[in-house]
Amino acid sequence: MKDCPFCNIPERDIIHENGLALCFLDRYPVTEGHSLIIPKRHVSGHFQATPNEVSAIMELAELRKRSLLEEFSDITGFNIGTNCGRSAGQTVFHLHWHLIPRRDGDIEDPRGGVRGVIPVKRIYP
């Protein structure tokens, strides 16, 4: 798609690639090393992808996890996830999984992680 940023990722920005998916750095990273993994085919969200595309994305998530751990000795965890739909926070409508490295102490109390999509519900009793 002509106007889709993820259909036009420059070759030099690609970190990992397989037959159906690509991995590259997020332009506005939440933490250092924040990476995105996308299907090569333009589909809007996770539930529009085929099982083979999902599998290709997960293969690159594993590869990228390993390359991040080699690159950064201080990574102690990851958040991985995808926003499906505008109401869930999606802003680029070409499916992408976020792989966000986390480091001990990067925020004061990280409990709940992805539950923080509704900030007041992040920490449960």
Tell me which residues touch Zn ion (CB under 5 A): 1, 4, 6-7, 42, 94
Indicate the residue among 2 and 27 with the shorter CB distance to ligand 5GP: 27
Q: Catalytic annotation on 98?
A: no
53 within 8 A of 37, measured Cβ to Cβ: no
91 makes contact with ligand 5GP (CB under 6 A): yes
Q: Give the helix/strand (H/E) hosting 16.
A: strand 14-17
Q: From residue 91, how far is each of 55, 70, 82, 86 by CA, in Å?
A: 23, 30, 11, 7
CB of 97 to ligand 5GP, least distance (A): 9
Residues in contact with ligand 5GP by CB under 6 A are 5, 24-28, 83, 89-92
